[in-house]
Amino acid sequence: MTPRRFLIGAASVLAVLFAAGLTLAWHPAIAPEPAPVRASFQRSQIERGAELAAIGDCAVCHTRPGGPAYAGGRAIPTPFGRVYSTNITPDEATGIGAWSEPAFRRAMRDGIGRDGRHLYPVLPYPHFTRATDDDIAALYAFAMSRTAVHEAKPSNLLGFPFNQRLLLAGWNLLFLRPGPWQPDPAQDAEWNRGAYLVEGVGHCGACHTPHNALGAERGEDRFAGGAAEGWYAPPLQAANPAPLPWTAAELAAYLRTGYSPQHGAAAGPMTPVTAELARVPEADIVAMATYIASLLPHQTEASLKPQPENGDANATALFAGACGSCHALDAPMTRNGAPPLTANTGLHERTPVSFIQVILHGIPWQEGRAAPYMPGFADTLTDAQIAELATYVRRRFGGQPAAITPDDVARVRSGGGT
C-alpha cells in the first residue's frame, strides 16, 4: 500500500467512525407540545405517579431549600463540579411543560432531554430506565398535574471537559443498559416487586453503591457502601456493619418513620428519603424492605456491651457533658426505649464520615413530623474536641479502634468527606 492510499484509507475509516459516533451521540429534538391539562389524566394515574415520585424522592433533588416544590434549582455537588437540578413542573418555558410523554419517557430511559441534549447522570436514569412504561406514564401524569412554576435554574458549574454533554454518549455506551427490569423467576412476587422498585425508580444504589472515576456505579460492588452529599451511605449487603441483624419488618418501619428501635435514626440525606417514603403505600415499602433484607447479612446477635473505659478523662468528660443527658445508659431517652449507642449502625461503620457529620450537624427538626432530633455540635466543640470525642465513642460503643484526627473533622466540616 502506498503512503497516499494508506492516508486515504485511514481518513475514510476515521470519517466513518466519527460519523458513527455522531449518529450515536446525536438525538433529535422532540417537537414541543402544549402542556396537557390535568383533566386529560386519570385521577388514579396521577395518584400512582405521586407514590412513585415519593419512592424516587424526586422532590428532594428537584426542590431548592425553601423553594417551590419540583421547581428545581438545588445545587447537587458531584466530583466533577456543581450541577443544579432542573425544574420539572409543567411550565413550558423553564420546566417540562412542552415535553410530550415520549419525550419524558426518553429522558427516563435514555437520559436525553426533549431538545435532544444529553442529561447528566446525576439524574439517575440508569435506574429509571428499569421502570415500566405504565409507571413512567404515571410519573409523567403526576409531574404534568403539578402547579407550573416559572423559575429558570442556575447554570451548572462544570469545568472542561465535563461541560461537553456529547461525551455522555460514550458514558452511556459504557455504563447505561437501557430497558425495563426483568423479574427473577426463582424469587416470589413480593421480592420481585421490591427489587423492581429498589433498582428502578427508588435508585437506592445511586448512593449506596460506590462510584468509579467516571461517576458510574461500580457494578461489581453493588450496594457495597457509597457516598451522598458528604455523608457515607452504608452497605446494603453482606458488609453491612449493623450489630443486630435487620429484618424485613424492621427495615419497612425504618423506611417509613426514619427510626428503628434496634438500629437508631436516619440522618443526613437519608432523613428526607424516609420523609418521602412515609407517603408510600405499605405494600410497596414492605416489598422494598423484603428485597433489601434478602441482601443484608443475617448474623447472630453481637454483644451490646460497651468496651471498658480506657482512661481518657477529657473524652469521658466531653461525652458525659455533651452527650450523656440523652445517650448515657440511664438517660431518659435510653430508658424510654431508644437503642443504646452500641446498637447504632453508624458507630460500627469503618468509615467515620457519617458519625462525624452527625456530631457536627445533628439530626434537624422536621416540620410537621414526629421524628428523631439531635442538636448539632459544630459551634459548641472544636475540631480537636470532636476528634477526641468521636474516637472515644466509636472505640467504646462501636468497637472501632481507629483514631479520628482533627484534620478528619476539618475535612468533613468543610464538606470534603475523608
Partner 1 sequence: MKLNVNGQDHDVEAEPDTPLLYILRDDLGLHGAKFGCGLGQCGACTVMVDGKAVFSCLTPLASLEGRRVRTVEGLGTPEQPGALPLAFMEEQAAQCGYCIAGMIMRAQALLERTPHPSEAQIRDAMALNLCRCGTHMRILAAIRRAAASWTQASR
Cell for 359? 456530631
Task: Based on the shown chain and the rule CB under 8 A, indicate whether residue 310 belongs to the binding site for partner 1.
Answer: no
DSSP, collapsed to helix, strand or coil, labels residue 163 as coil
Q: How far is the CB of 377 from partner 1 (least distance, A)?
A: 8
Pick the piece of the chain touching partner 1 (CB under 8 A) from 152-160, 185-193, 316-324, 399-407. 316-324
Nearest partner of 286 among 246, 315, 232, 250, judged by Cα: 250
For partner 1, the closer of residues 64 and 218 by Cβ is: 64
Nearest partner of 362 among 396, 323, 336, 399, judged by Cα: 323
Q: Are strands 226-228 and 81-84 parallel, antiparallel or unpaired?
A: unpaired
Q: How far is the CB of 375 from partner 1 (least distance, A)?
A: 3
Task: Based on the shown chain and the rule CB under 8 A, indicate whether residue 322 belongs to the binding site for partner 1.
Answer: yes
Q: How far is the CB of 361 from partner 1 (least distance, A)?
A: 12
Task: Based on the shown chain and the rule CB under 8 A, indicate whether residue 325 belongs to the binding site for partner 1.
Answer: yes
Sketch the per residue contact string, 265 through 304, with partner 1: x for CB under 8 A, - otherwise: ----------------------------------------
> Cα–Cα distances in Å, from 111 out to 118, 161, 175, 349?
6, 19, 12, 34
Task: Based on the shown chain and the rule CB under 8 A, indicate whether residue 375 belongs to the binding site for partner 1.
Answer: yes
Task: Based on the shown chain and the rule CB under 8 A, indicate whether residue 320 belongs to the binding site for partner 1.
Answer: yes
* Upper half-sphere CA count for residue 232 (Cβ side, 13 Å): 23
Task: Based on the shown chain and the rule CB under 8 A, indicate whether residue 159 belongs to the binding site for partner 1.
Answer: no
Sketch the per residue contact string, 46 through 85, with partner 1: x for CB under 8 A, - otherwise: --------------------x-------------------
Among 45, 78, 247, 316, binds partner 1 (CB under 8 A): 316
Burial class of residue 184, CB neighbours in 10 A (0-12, 13-18, 19+): exposed
Cell for 327? 445517650
Among 86, 260, 385, 400, binds partner 1 (CB under 8 A): 385
Q: How far is the CB of 94 from partner 1 (least distance, A)?
A: 22
Task: Based on the shown chain and the rule CB under 8 A, indicate whether residue 377 belongs to the binding site for partner 1.
Answer: yes
Which contacts qualify for 304-307: CB closer than 8 Å, 24 or more apart?
A: 304/243, 304/244, 304/340, 304/342, 304/343, 305/342, 306/341, 306/342, 306/396, 306/397, 307/395, 307/396, 307/397, 307/399
Task: Based on the shown chain and the rule CB under 8 A, indicate whether residue 380 belongs to the binding site for partner 1.
Answer: yes
Find the angle CA(183)-CA(189)-CA(263) to the nearest 5 degrees: 100
- Residue 199: how many other CB atoms lie within 10 Å: 18
Among 6, 18, 26, 373, binds partner 1 (CB under 8 A): 373
Q: Which residues bind partner 1 (CB under 8 A)?
A: 66, 313-314, 316-322, 324-326, 333, 365, 373-375, 377, 379-382, 385
